[in-house]
Amino acid sequence: MRSDIIKKGLERVPHRTLLYATGIPRSEMDKPFIGVVTSFTDIIPGHIGMRDLERFIEKGVHTGGGYPFFFGVPGICDGIAMGHSGMQYSLPSRELIADIVETVTSAHQFDGLVLLTNCDKITPGMLMAAGRLNIPSIVVTAGPMYSGYLKGKRLSLVNDTFEAMGKYKKGLIDDDELSSLEMCACPGAGSCQGMYTANTMACVTESLGMSIPFTATALAISSEKRRIAFESGRRIVDLVKENITPATIMTKDAFENAIMVDMALGGSTNTVLHITAIAREVGVELALETFDRLSKTTPHIANMLPGGQHYLEDLHNSGGIPAVLKRLSHIIKDTQTVCGKSTKTIIESAVIADDDVIRPVEKAHHKEGGIAILRGNLAPGGAVVKQSAITEKMMVFEGSALVFDCEEDALKAILDGKVTAGNVVVIRYEGPKGGPGMREMLQSTATIAGMGLNDSVALITDGRFSGGTRGPCIGHVSPEAMEGGVIGIVKDGDRILINIPDRRLDLLISEDEIKQRQSLWKPLHKEIKKGYLKRYSKLVTSAGTGAVMKEE
């Protein structure tokens, strides 16, 4: 076993002494050493229930014949970090998490890993580490939150709190209703209830084959989730004994399966960044065009929040990810999974319990999947949009640019009523380098939606969006402004054309005018003088390559 390096031989007497100091019995020393990585924290709703799941993972590891060692990684709640400087740390935390898992695992030579995670950057960070280390690994996502409830109506975080800001500003709701929404929208533990980034990544992870069936959708605090945690702990020992590693599971076919499920669910645009980064760690090349190619041939069959009406609990009760795979069985490829069953075997036993939540292909909400990749003179390196959350009216839109160099200025203008029908809000210097950290723009997009401007105002940015964003919002514009991208030379009043069916994003000025403006352009430098963000801004690559760190 890999852990023999720290526990076998005369030269390891000191090592064994230190291990015995932890309380491990001598009888357990010959068993596989399993690292259990937990992102438990008191400040993220999706993670506050993990102490309970840790117990059941631990029981499973012991039952399977292994010995568990717990260690932690940091977690950031994107909702709490949203709309201020804290969001600069969200995407960069993904790289920290991957590095921490790699560091602790390699230093102690664990034989296998159980990765207990849930929210936006934590799940991809752990999967990146699993791919990089390539030792037997299994992922347990802690589960989605139950829907909130108020006056006979189900609630979710984004649609009923972030968008409530715009409704309140417009006078559509009063102080009492706003206060009630604050208290009721999120009733307890779990990742936020819609197909936002956390739940999208959980679904991607299960579709990749890195979680056992129903892990993605089984609700937090449920007994089913406890059993999944136990079985995952037990199963990791088998994976160690059989030497089934992430590289044997996360193949190109598995990534394409996961992308197709993502498209069918209308998932978060952030998955483009995360799937690309995870694939890179296991040596699988995924160009941006892969997402667009698969989107064009994958129907959108589940109308999930924020663009639709269904919650994660609805998806789970309708058959979960196995049922989605079953609907897509004509295009899904057979791959290996951590549970020991192939994808096709999982499909054979899947049951679709609700034809409205998980529609037949011939009754799909849209013929194409949730995400589209746009290019044009404004985004020669690509841009990303959640097309499943856009009304037909806004699929082709030409508008007048209203330009801001940070999200705070844009949000103030939106709240002050300065953004009106026919505008294209441009928020720049929010990319991986320019932010730095590529902040999410959920407060701005949700306020536009709450004020009823979704069908008359578009937003583009070199930053990114929450999975909760809906409407004509285009992110990941590459090259970003800080790299000299065309988004950096857009002026107020410029005309911008968005054509999603044709996959185009264009600034409607001449090439000569673009060249003249670029010759006069100077970057806007933000005052990041020290610390992690300064290092990150120097090393991070563009959104088009997953916003990963340069190795040289």
Burial of 429 (0-12, 13-18, 19+ CB in 10 A): buried
- Widest pairwise Cα distance in the chain: 76
User: Which runs of consecutive H residues, i.e. helices, occur in 109-185?
Assistant: 122-133, 157, 163-169, 175-184
First to last CA, the chain: 32
Number of Cβ atoms within 10 Å of the Cβ of 283: 11
Half-sphere exposure of 242 (CA within 13 A, CB side): 14
Which residue reads 């999603």 in tokens? Answer: 500
Under 8 Å between Cβ of 484 and 386: no
Reply yes or no on whether 542 is catalytic: no
Catalytic residue among 466, 478, 537, 542: 466
Sheet holding 371-374, edge to edge: 371-374, 382-386, 473-478, 458-461, 423-427, 396-404, 495-499, 504-507
**C-alpha distances in Å from residue 65, one per residue of 22, 61, 234, 337, 339:** 19, 6, 8, 21, 17
Distance CA 157, CA 191 (A): 10
Burial of 365 (0-12, 13-18, 19+ CB in 10 A): middle
Q: Which amino acid is at 300?
A: H
Which residue reads 């999967």 in tokens? Answer: 127
Q: Which amino acid is at 459?
A: L
Closest CA to 415 of 389, 381, 361, 451: 451
Query: Strand 371-374 vs strand 153-155: parallel, antiparallel, or unpaired?
Result: unpaired
Residue 347 three-state SS: helix
Give the active site residues.
Answer: 466
